[in-house]
Amino acid sequence: MSVTAIVPDYARRIEPRDPVENFHGNMLVYVHWEDHLSFCSAVAFPLPPAIPFGAFVSEVVAPAYAAHPEAASIDWSAVVWMIDGATKVPDMEASLAANGMKHKTLVRFWTPGLSGWKGTAS
Amino acid sequence: MAPKKLGLKQRYAHMTRGLDWETTYQPMDAVFPYDTFEGIKIKDWSAWEDPFRLTMDSYWKFQAEKERKLYAVLDAFAQNNGQTGVSDGRYINVVKLFLTGVSPLEYQAHRGFAFTGRHLRGAGPRIACQMQSLDELRHLQTQIHTISHYNKFFDGIGEFPHMHDRVWYLSVPKSFFDDARAAGPFEFMIAIGFAFEYLLTNLLFVPFMSGAAYNGDMSTVTFGFSAQSDESRHMTLGIEVIKFLLEQHPDNLPIVQKWVDKWFWRGFRVLGLVAMMMDYMLPKKVMSWKEAWEIYFTEAGGSLFQDLERYGLKVPKYADVATEAAEHISHQNWAVFYQYSHAAAFHTWMPDKEHLDWLSEKYPNTFDKYYRPRWEMWAEMEKEGKRFYNPSLPQLCQVCQIPMAYTEPGDPTKIAFRCTEVAGETYHFCSDGCKDIFDAEPEKYIQSWLPVHQIFQGNCGGATVPDVLNWYRMNVGADNMDYVGSPDDRLWSEWHAAKTREAV
Amino acid sequence: MAQIASITLLHNDDARPIIEAILADNPGVRVLNMPGAVKLDCDDELVVNRASVEARLGRPWEPQEIQLVLISMAGNLDEDDDWFKLSWKH
């Protein structure tokens, strides 16, 4: 479906506001730690597509969640990753782009054995 | 014999329809270019009914009387230092959120109804819209006037219009109204006149203003109820527009149903802020959000939609999802502000034990299982000197612009993720309701000004949190962070220490 | 399920004669007291009669004056010189 507008060529008069070109060489990546809802939602980062997935984990993801009491217990080698809806085993040496990530990709991850404070998903 | 007085119905007919005319210098379609493109078919504008039958002369008389009553209270409140008599200093944060989040919407409604009144060719709705436009301006003015008294003492109030246009969470109510005002006049009427005024403002004003009364805020309760007396007229306009459109032509039904579905969901999302005010921010509580939802949506909305069934109109899509979410949204929203307290222009606080017990009692099915542990965890962290903050920026929903904090219907442990692709780009949503709205008009929502994305694009004053807060004109260390230890808290404690000294 | 006709009024001196008139003229009316406000609910129909209000007020009163104390309502409104009626009947 499309918008009902008073001008017939509405779609040609407008521009999407968040194409990747607007982010100065970065792309947007969303990350969410499942079963840890003290982080209220997924969080967003502007990242160079060329950084290795391993660096993304150690320099972006881990610090973002460090405040949680369970953060120190995460075994990063056992983490289950889901990239844009598909479960994947990412190549830690390869870039985000090479791991199939693009602008506005959503990365969800599960930490086996850790399901939130006292097991309450908090 | 004295001349006979006209009855209410006759007077209304003379003073509205009787003053209207068909244009002749220009064709009517050229004078009213906006009232056809939405596809709404009107056969007979004169079939419009205004059951209040209020004419402009009576309108001025009643509004003047309301203003006299209101300003008498405001004067008394100021002269008697009413600000020292509210239930607790925390209460003022409700007023701050109201002024920054809701009052600017009154102005948007003023503009929207002025436009709509101008562009509907029937005299009945035109006059009703004109009155509503004036009402909304009055609401904004009385709210600013009332709350300006608190601005003399408390932080986070003075920059409200600037903040409304910029601050991340205020983009939620702002974009809601921008969306309505960017639509045609009929959609605007359904969006604001029907979905917002009729279905949802009761939830905003009645329990909330009753809460102000209970918390000793005489001035806010007075402007609130003074505004609400106009709202009854607005609600009537809202229901009349629905009935009128549905009676005029059967082709209008699917269009109206689509708008009712859309604006119910949009309004429900915005009112999550009110849910949070009621369950977490009022020091003395009147009723829970869930109870208010039962009275004002389930019961009142139920009666209404039963009435509208005869036109074929159905209960808004996802009303059941919204009712299920009434168990969760206030907790989920307060958790958002608790962890982003450093970037909010009002104070947050940890609910104390008595407050948690009240929530357990009001939400027996969910609170102890899902939300109480979260507060207890954060309380422990506070005690250890590790007050919990979220150091990253949240993912936002493309439509409602709220952080994607809402959970799957039926599973409060899983965030709901929805997405869609347009022209090779992905768009993310918090719910099926928001995704449906996007999918129906993608051209509109790919233009959304999402605060988090704007920060990353470099459009919000700089790359660091302090840069952005400065761009918001947030007075860091005074406007934001926890209530405990804030300048507001110190002032409040001084007032109370002084009261105790004087009493001895 | 019965449809509920409802009116919410300020809980003050100006509204008291109207509240009393509603209680007298609408058998089965249910009352919900809130701080500063009172909500009156009735199945299907609720009416405010001018004559009943005037009898309590001791002066002429026009139904439009209800706007000065009105907070909210539910039901289709019919207002005339002698009454202010909220109803789901057709």
Q: What's the pLDDT band for B12 if we cut at 50, 70, 90?
A: confident
Tokens of A102: 């693009």
Q: Give SS3 for A110.
A: strand
B301-310, B446-455, B493-502 — which one is most confidently predicted on average?
A: B446-455
pLDDT tens-digit profile of B101-154?
A: 999 999 999 999 999 999 999 998 999 899 999 999 999 999 999 999 999 999
Give the pLDDT of residue B360.
98
Domain ranges of chain A: 10-119
pLDDT tens-digit profile of A84-98?
A: 999 999 999 999 999
Candidate from A28, A41, A121 with C-beta closest to B394: A41
Question: In this structure, how many other beta carbons lie within 10 angstroms of the beta carbon of residue B186?
Answer: 26
The answer, yes or no, to whether residue B412 has pLDDT greater than 80, is: yes
Tokens of B495: 């007032």
CA distances from B355 to B14, B86, B372, C7 (A): 57, 18, 11, 31
| Sequence-ordered list of residues with C-beta below 8 angstroms from that of B224, at least 6 positions apart, any chain | B205, B208, B209, B212
Q: Which chains have at least 3 CB atom pairs separated by less than 8 Å from chain C?
A: B
| Sequence-ordered list of residues with C-beta below 8 angstroms from that of B111, at least 6 positions apart, any chain | B133, B181
Give the pLDDT of residue B209.
85
Residue B425's φ and ψ, nearest 5 degrees, are -115, 140
The answer, yes or no, to whether residue B246 has pLDDT greater than 80, is: yes
The correct CATH number of A10-119 out of 3.10.20.560, 1.20.1090.10, 3.40.50.300, 2.60.120.380 is 3.10.20.560
Give me the mean pLDDT over the B277-299 stretch: 93
Question: A109 CA to chain B: closest CA distance, Å?
Answer: 12
**C73: CATH:** 3.90.56.10
pTM to 2 decimal places: 0.95
d(CA C44, CA C23): 15
Give me the mean pLDDT over the B266-290 stretch: 94
d(CA B34, CA B116): 9
Q: What's the pLDDT band for C1 if we cut at 50, 70, 90?
A: low
Give the pLDDT of residue B1.
60
Chain B residues within 8 A of A45 when measuring between CB atoms: 392
pLDDT tens-digit profile of B19-68?
A: 889 999 999 999 999 999 999 999 999 898 888 888 888 899 999 999 99
Q: Which domain holds residue C61?
A: 4-87
Question: C57 CA to chain B: closest CA distance, Å?
Answer: 18
pLDDT tens-digit profile of C10-48?
A: 999 999 999 999 999 999 999 999 888 999 999 999 999
Q: What percent of chain B has pLDDT over 70?
A: 99
Give the pLDDT of residue B2.
66
d(CA A30, CA B430): 13
d(CA B297, CA C75): 14
Best of A9, A28, A40 to disrupt the B interface by mutation (most B CBs within 10 Å)? A40
Q: What's the pLDDT band for B343 if we cut at 50, 70, 90?
A: very high
Using only the alpha carbons of chain C, give its radius of gyration: 12
d(CA B198, CA B219): 25
| Sequence-ordered list of residues with C-beta below 8 angstroms from that of C30, at least 6 positions apart, any chain | C40, C41, C42
Give me the mean pLDDT over the B235-258 stretch: 94
CB C87 within 8 A of CB C78: yes
Question: What are C's interface residues with B at a Cβ cutoff of 8 A?
Answer: 1, 3-6, 8, 10, 32, 34-37, 39, 64-65, 67-81, 88, 90
More confident residue, B390 or B3: B390
DSSP state of B90: G
A121 with B370: Cβ contact below 8 A? yes
DSSP state of B81: T
Q: Report the DSSP beta bridge partners of residue C74.
A: C6
Give the pLDDT of residue A1.
65
The answer, yes or no, to whether residue B9 has pLDDT greater than 90, is: no
CA distances from C6 to B296, B349, C43 (A): 11, 37, 9
d(CA B272, CA B260): 18
Give the pLDDT of residue B141.
96
C36 with B210: Cβ contact below 8 A? yes
The answer, yes or no, to whether residue B276 has pLDDT greater than 70, is: yes
Give the pLDDT of residue A93.
98
Query: DSSP readout, B19-67?
Result: G----SSS-HHHHSTTSSTT----S-GGG---TT---HHHHHHHHHHHH
Candidate from A28, A64, A69 with C-beta closest to B453: A28
The answer, yes or no, to whether residue A54 has pLDDT greater than 90, is: yes
d(CA C43, CA C66): 21
Homologous superfamily, domain B23-33+50-503: Ribonucleotide Reductase, subunit A (1.10.620.20)
Give the pLDDT of residue B336.
98
Average pLDDT of chain B to the nearest whole number: 94
ipTM of the complex: 0.98
Give the pLDDT of residue B217.
92
pLDDT tens-digit profile of B350-399?
A: 999 999 999 999 999 999 999 999 999 999 999 999 999 999 999 999 99
Least confident among A33-37, B12-16, B211-215: B12-16
Q: What percent of chain B has pLDDT over 90?
A: 80
Look at residues B63, B201, B183 and name the one whose alpha carbon lies nearest to residue B133: B63
The answer, yes or no, to whether residue C6 has pLDDT greater than 70, is: yes
Tokens of B350: 């940890």
A24 with B37: Cβ contact below 8 A? no
Q: What's the pLDDT band for B256 if we cut at 50, 70, 90?
A: very high
Tokens of B352: 């104390």
Q: Report the DSSP beta bridge partners of residue A95.
A: A52
Average pLDDT of chain A to the nearest whole number: 97
Question: C42 CA to chain B: closest CA distance, Å?
Answer: 12
For B385, nearest residue in chain A (alpha carbons): A67
Calculate the CA A53 to chain-centre distance.
12
Q: What's the pLDDT band for B6 if we cut at 50, 70, 90?
A: confident
CB B188 within 8 A of CB B180: yes
Question: A106 CA to chain B: closest CA distance, Å?
Answer: 9
Question: Per the structure, how many domains does chain C have?
Answer: 1
Instruction: Specify the DSSP element, H or E, that contains B10.
Output: helix B8-15
